[in-house]
């Protein structure tokens, strides 16, 4: 093996695609399934760079340039919603001028609209708008994008191993020469030799570098988001003010995502959501879309941003949160630490994942003496049946049209997201001999992501998984329990109104009718406590 890529998020997936296109024999390793970390827990915004035009111009420039690249090579994963930056009397009056200059300096087109024009486009917006600009934001499906990178990489001969954790980096003197991997399902350990390791592990990048004795100081920044039950807006809405908590609304698929917060944490997998975050996000969104806080909040989740500030750029070890730049860094440990065979890429945005991968792979190739240039910005990613390229943007009604025209045969498994049995069976088959969970199928198909949060489709999908994989009944039951718990975990911070009623219905189905908690292994149970969720909702002042 020439290169091991650690991390199955957007950057790791883009990196193995880049390596494969350059003719480098590469293996991607991910401790869970693809896109289970930060890349699968973001708000869905394809940045125009406008969010950073008020201060972080390097990140703003990277975003607008890569926005254009991703639109060209992965349009199937993007909905061209456009974006609006909206100012209200509550926002700093001097900010728009500095923001406009930043946009002009980095090449972000920002078209001025009148409040009347913008309310004709988005009637749900507040009439208190004082200033508004249109920018080329979009929404991006990270699951589709990452799968497309991996599929394309495999077509060039690369390999990907999911559910394999790196437990050690092998050193030979001043060189990293491979990694020890542990199968997280069976516990089996294997050693893979490689000429170089590319560490693209996101929030876990510091821990991975530490396995080779290297110090990479990652700032963990947790952000919470809320999905509303319908698209209150069809255009991405940004507050025209310095970036702070609760200032974006992103229409993604059939929902509208509100976010985000910025909270320092000490753990790369800290997915807690605090009551104040729910109240803050809903309250700030209500300023620009009056009445949205009374709408049906469908689900809340959190992700951890792996922020990095090079020591030469800022010597304040206490810098954190929104004070840390959103650009990325590539650490060539041969240059920085005298350790060959290891490159780490940290920071950045999902929008800039391809650029991050390009720079990281350039560093890897330099260590390996390979001078083949990067070509990942040049061609549309091959996706779809038979690898045929899809050159059109994603459209919201695409799956419905396929269903109505008979292109998605078989009975419906998930009515909310229009997922059919044939799709579930095909997705399971795509994993081959590798492990697959119902939550993996959610990321692949949006299974269980609708208003009922898997209340009706989970048991159907578990039955299909049992049939296709020939699981023992007990194993299929555990898979169902894990999926139900994961879905309900995101509902519990939002238990009021219609979502509380839905929760009681789902709880009745799985606990009282099916008795799922009694069928699970002793002590595992179901995490269904409506009273705790009710208190969380009251504390959120929702």
Which residue, 305, 320, 342, sits at the end of a domain? 305
Q: Examine the domain organization and report whether 363 and 411 are in the same domain.
A: no
pLDDT of residue 382: 84
Long-range (24+ apart) CB contacts under 8 A made by 439-444 are: 439/33, 439/482, 439/483, 439/486, 440/33, 441/465, 442/483, 443/33, 443/34, 443/35, 443/36, 443/40, 443/143, 444/143, 444/147
Residue 69 maps to a domain: no
pLDDT of residue 64: 98
Q: Examine the domain organization and report whether 434 and 523 are in the same domain.
A: yes
pLDDT of residue 487: 92
Left if phi > 0, otherwise alpha if psi is -120 to 50, otherwise beta: which for 191? beta
Tokens for 225, please give them.
């988001």
pLDDT of residue 313: 46
pLDDT of residue 386: 43
Q: Examine the domain organization and report whether 354 and 230 are in the same domain.
A: no
Q: Which of 215, 233, 439, 508 is closest to 339 using CA atoms?
A: 215
Q: DSSP letter at 337?
A: H
Residue 150 maps to a domain: yes
Instruction: Tell me the residue range of the domain where 535 lies.
Output: 397-539
Q: Examine the domain organization and report whether 295 and 347 are in the same domain.
A: no
pLDDT of residue 314: 44
Residue 192 maps to a domain: yes
Which residue, 305, 331, 360, sits at the end of a domain? 305
Distance CA(11)–CA(16), nearest Å, equals 9
Q: Examine the domain organization and report whether 520 and 492 are in the same domain.
A: yes
Distance CA(491)–CA(69), nearest Å, equals 36
Q: Examine the domain organization and report whether 267 and 407 are in the same domain.
A: no
pLDDT of residue 222: 97
Distance CA(348)–CA(12), nearest Å, equals 13
Q: What angle do CA 372, 378, 381 make, to 5 degrees?
A: 105
pLDDT of residue 537: 40
pLDDT of residue 383: 72
Residue 70 maps to a domain: no
Cis peptide leading into residue 260 (ω within 30°): yes
pLDDT of residue 406: 83
- Distances in Å between the alpha carbon of 292 and those of 167, 301, 377? 46, 18, 39
Residue 210 maps to a domain: yes
Residue 343 maps to a domain: yes
- At 172, give phi and psi (nearest 5°): -125, 90
How confident is the chain (542 residues) per 10-residue block, as mean pLDDT? 97 98 98 96 97 95 98 96 97 97 98 96 97 98 96 97 98 98 96 98 98 96 96 97 96 94 96 97 98 96 92 50 76 98 97 98 98 96 60 80 84 93 95 94 93 93 95 92 93 92 91 90 62 42 38
CATH code (residue 197): 3.50.50.60
CATH code (residue 84): 3.30.9.10
pLDDT of residue 385: 41
pLDDT of residue 399: 82
Q: DSSP letter at 73?
A: H
Q: Examine the domain organization and report whether 237 and 205 are in the same domain.
A: no
Q: Examine the domain organization and report whether 210 and 246 are in the same domain.
A: no
Residue 54 maps to a domain: no
Contacts of 109 (CB under 8 A, 6+ apart): 103, 135, 136
Q: Examine the domain organization and report whether 115 and 225 are in the same domain.
A: yes
Distance CA(426)–CA(209), nearest Å, equals 37
pTM: 0.92
Contacts of 486 (CB under 8 A, 6+ apart): 439
Distance CA(298)–CA(417), nearest Å, equals 14
pLDDT of residue 395: 80
Number of domains in the chain: 3
CA 386 to chain centre: 26
Q: Examine the domain organization and report whether 484 and 344 are in the same domain.
A: no
Distance CA(97)–CA(251), nearest Å, equals 27
Which residue, 305, 329, 349, sits at the end of a domain? 305
Q: Examine the domain organization and report whether 226 and 343 are in the same domain.
A: no
Q: Examine the domain organization and report whether 168 and 209 are in the same domain.
A: yes
Residue 63 maps to a domain: no
In the sheet with 138-140, reading across from the earlier edge strand, the strands are: 45-46, 138-140, 78-79
For the packed helices 457-469 and 473-491, what is the interaxial angle rounded to 10 degrees? 150
């Amino acid at each position: 093996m020439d290169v091991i890529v650690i991390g199955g998020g957007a950057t790791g997936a883009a990196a193995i695609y880049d390596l494969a296109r350059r003719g480098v024999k590469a293996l991607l390793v991910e401790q869970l399934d693809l896109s289970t970390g930060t890349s699968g827990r973001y708000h869905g915004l394809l940045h125009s760079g406008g969010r950073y035009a008020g201060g972080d111009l390097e990140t703003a420039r990277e975003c607008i340039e890569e926005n254009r690249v991703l639109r060209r090579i992965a349009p199937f994963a993007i909905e061209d919603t456009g974006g609006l930056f909206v100012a209200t009397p509550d926002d700093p009056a001097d900010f728009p001028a500095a923001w406009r200059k930043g946009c002009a300096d980095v090449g972000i087109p920002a078209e001025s609209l009148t409040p009347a024009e913008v309310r004709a486009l988005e009637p749900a917006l507040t009439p208190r708008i004082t200033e508004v600009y249109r920018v080329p934001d979009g929404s991006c499906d990270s699951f589709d994008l990452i799968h497309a990178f991996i599929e394309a990489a495999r077509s060039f001969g690369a390999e990907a191993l999911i559910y394999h954790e790196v437990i050690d980096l092998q050193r030979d003197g001043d060189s990293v020469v491979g990694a020890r991997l542990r199968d997280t399902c069976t516990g089996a350990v294997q050693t893979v030799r490689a000429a170089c390791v590319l560490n693209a592990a996101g929030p876990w990048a510091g821990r991975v570098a530490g396995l080779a004795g290297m110090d990479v100081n990652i700032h963990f920044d947790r952000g919470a988001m809320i999905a509303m039950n319908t698209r209150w807006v069809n255009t991405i809405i940004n507050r025209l003010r310095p970036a702070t908590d609760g200032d974006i609304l992103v229409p993604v698929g059939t929902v509208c995502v509100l976010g985000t917060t910025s909270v320092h944490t000490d753990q790369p997998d800290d997915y807690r959501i605090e009551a104040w975050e729910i109240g803050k996000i809903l309250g700030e969104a209500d300023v620009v879309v009056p009445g949205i806080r009374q709408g049906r909040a469908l689900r809340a989740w959190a992700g951890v941003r792996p922020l990095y500030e090079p020591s030469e750029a800022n010597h304040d070890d206490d810098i954190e949160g929104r004070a840390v730049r959103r650009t990325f860094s590539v650490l060539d440990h041969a240059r920085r630490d005298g350790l060959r065979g290891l490159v780490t890429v940290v920071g950045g945005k999902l929008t800039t994942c391809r650029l991050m991968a390009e720079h990281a792979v350039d560093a890897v190739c330099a260590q390996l003496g390979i001078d083949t240039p990067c070509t990942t910005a040049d061609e549309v990613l091959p996706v779809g049946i038979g690898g045929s390229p899809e050159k059109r943007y994603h459209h919201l009604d695409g799956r419905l049209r396929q269903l109505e025209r008979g292109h998605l045969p078989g009975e419906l498994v998930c009515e909310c997201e229009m997922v059919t049995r044939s799709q579930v069976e095909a997705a399971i088959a795509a994993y081959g001999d590798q492990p697959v969970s119902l939550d993996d199928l959610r990321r692949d198909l949006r299974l269980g992501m609708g208003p009922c949060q898997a209340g009706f489709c989970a048991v159907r999908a578990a039955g299909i998984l049992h049939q296709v994989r020939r699981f023992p009944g007990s194993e299929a039951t555990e898979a169902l329990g894990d999926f139900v718990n994961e879905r309900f975990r995101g509902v519990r911070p939002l238990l009021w109104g219609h979502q509380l009623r839905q929760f009681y219905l789902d709880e009745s189905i799985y606990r009282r009718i099916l008795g799922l908690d009694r069928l699970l292994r002793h002590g595992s149970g179901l995490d269904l406590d409506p009273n705790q969720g009710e208190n969380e909702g009251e504390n959120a002042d929702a």
